A = this chain, B = another copy of it.
Amino acid sequence: MVLHAMRATDCATLTEITRVTGLSRPTVEGVVEDLIEAGLVMEKAAEEGAARRQGRPARRFRFRAEAGHLLGLEIGPHRVAALLSALDGRVMGAQAKDVDETASADERLERLRTAVAELLRRAGVPRSSLRAVGVATPGIVEADGTVRLSTALPEWTGLRLGERLSRSFKCPVLVENDANAAAVAEHWKGAATESDDVVFVLAGLSPGAGSLIGGRLHRGYGGAAGEIGALHLLGRGDTPETLLSTTDEPLHPLDEQAVAAVFAKARDGDQRARAAVERFIQRLVHDVAALVLALDPELVVIGGWAAGLDGALEPLRRELARYCLRPPKVALSLLGEAAVATGALRLALDHVEEQLFAVEGTVTARR
């Protein structure tokens, strides 16, 4: 309770903490001393030169967010990215690097390690200060951090990603599906802060989705919930690569530059490109409708390509209103490209907060 109260404010006196928590003064004093010993709290006056002050002002204490740090990592087909924060979750730095979609697992992980090393060095944060690392990547991820299936990244299926990354970090490494992480991120500080029942759609040639039900991530029985991209394999034979092509040849499944070119041509009025984009949006609407009918969320957030795909929003709203019995709100991602890494960071923060509560429990027990 004391830690909660102190994290919610910049700094506080013992009197203030006593009032907010409803605990007795001696208890608060004892807990604060324990938290100072654990390195999670410090006296603020001492920090700001109490010597200069007159009389004996009330001692002020603050939560030491800098007592530990967190990383949120994204490993995608075209780039790796890393976010760094202290224990308050505020982003202190970011680093991203392009990576070739054909890169091997070793190359990709090496690229990520370089990005992390640069980020930590720039921020002056020692590796030993890391308390948890969240990682988000395309595919079905098992609870132990193994990638069960991922078609987007070479050598990714079967990779023990959590174990591999654990060699670089002494703290816990948590691995999550990228769309799931993005859903968590939009709920934390994006387009979904007001809703606990959300579907986040990571639009792309093979769209994936992450869902929050009652504010909690719905992973599914085998971690595969939201893998709606496979739906197009059924019934209608055309792949998104074919739908989006303006020639008789399908696009390469991971060639996002070719996709961007089609969108650009469509904006310039090219008829074939417009027809291709139209086909693609129809497919997206169908996939999103399937998710909405199955889950009935309050809000659908569209991210991934859709950041540059404003054209998809109106058809989505229109079609959902026509065909869903109770259409949800539809919004664009507010976090854009940062959504996946931000969600990974939030998952790391969740893990550390659980630990902090455990510390708190221990401290309280000792009173």
Which residues of chain A have a CB within 8 Å of any CB of chain B? 140, 148-149, 197, 209, 211, 213, 218-228, 230-231, 233-236, 282-283, 285-286, 289-291, 293-298, 319, 322-326, 328
**Do residues B220 and A285 form an inter-chain contact, with CB atoms below 8 A?**
no
**Do residues A294 and B286 form an inter-chain contact, with CB atoms below 8 A?**
no
* Min CB–CB distance A166 → chain B (angstroms): 25
**Do residues B324 and A224 form an inter-chain contact, with CB atoms below 8 A?**
yes
**Do residues A293 and B228 form an inter-chain contact, with CB atoms below 8 A?**
yes
* Min CB–CB distance A290 → chain B (angstroms): 4
**Do residues A294 and B297 form an inter-chain contact, with CB atoms below 8 A?**
no
The chain B residue sitting closest to A198, CB to CB, is B221
* Min CB–CB distance A144 → chain B (angstroms): 15
* Min CB–CB distance A323 → chain B (angstroms): 5
Residue of B149, B197, B283, B325 touching A140 (CB-CB under 8 A)? B325
Chain B hits for A236, CB < 8 A: 235-236
Chain B hits for A328, CB < 8 A: 221
Interface centre among A148, A231, A319 (most CB of B within 10 A): A231
Complexed CA–CA distance, A236 and B323 (Å): 12
Complexed CA–CA distance, A211 and B211 (Å): 15
* Min CB–CB distance A154 → chain B (angstroms): 18
**Do residues A231 and B290 form an inter-chain contact, with CB atoms below 8 A?**
yes
The chain B residue sitting closest to A211, CB to CB, is B294
**Do residues A293 and B140 form an inter-chain contact, with CB atoms below 8 A?**
no
Given contacts A213-B213, A227-B325, A325-B227, contact A296 B233 (CB under 8 A): no
Complexed CA–CA distance, A282 and B235 (Å): 7
**Do residues B290 and A220 form an inter-chain contact, with CB atoms below 8 A?**
no
The chain B residue sitting closest to A140, CB to CB, is B325
Residue of B230, B319, B325 touching A325 (CB-CB under 8 A)? B230
The chain B residue sitting closest to A233, CB to CB, is B323
**Do residues A213 and B224 form an inter-chain contact, with CB atoms below 8 A?**
no
**Do residues A296 and B220 form an inter-chain contact, with CB atoms below 8 A?**
yes
Apart from A149-B326, A221-B326, what 8 extra A-B contacts exist at CB < 8 Å?
Answer: A220-B297, A222-B296, A223-B296, A224-B324, A224-B326, A233-B322, A235-B236, A290-B290
**Do residues A148 and B220 form an inter-chain contact, with CB atoms below 8 A?**
no
Chain B hits for A291, CB < 8 A: 290, 294
Chain B hits for A209, CB < 8 A: 294
Complexed CA–CA distance, A187 and B236 (Å): 33
Complexed CA–CA distance, A298 and B224 (Å): 11
* Min CB–CB distance A222 → chain B (angstroms): 4
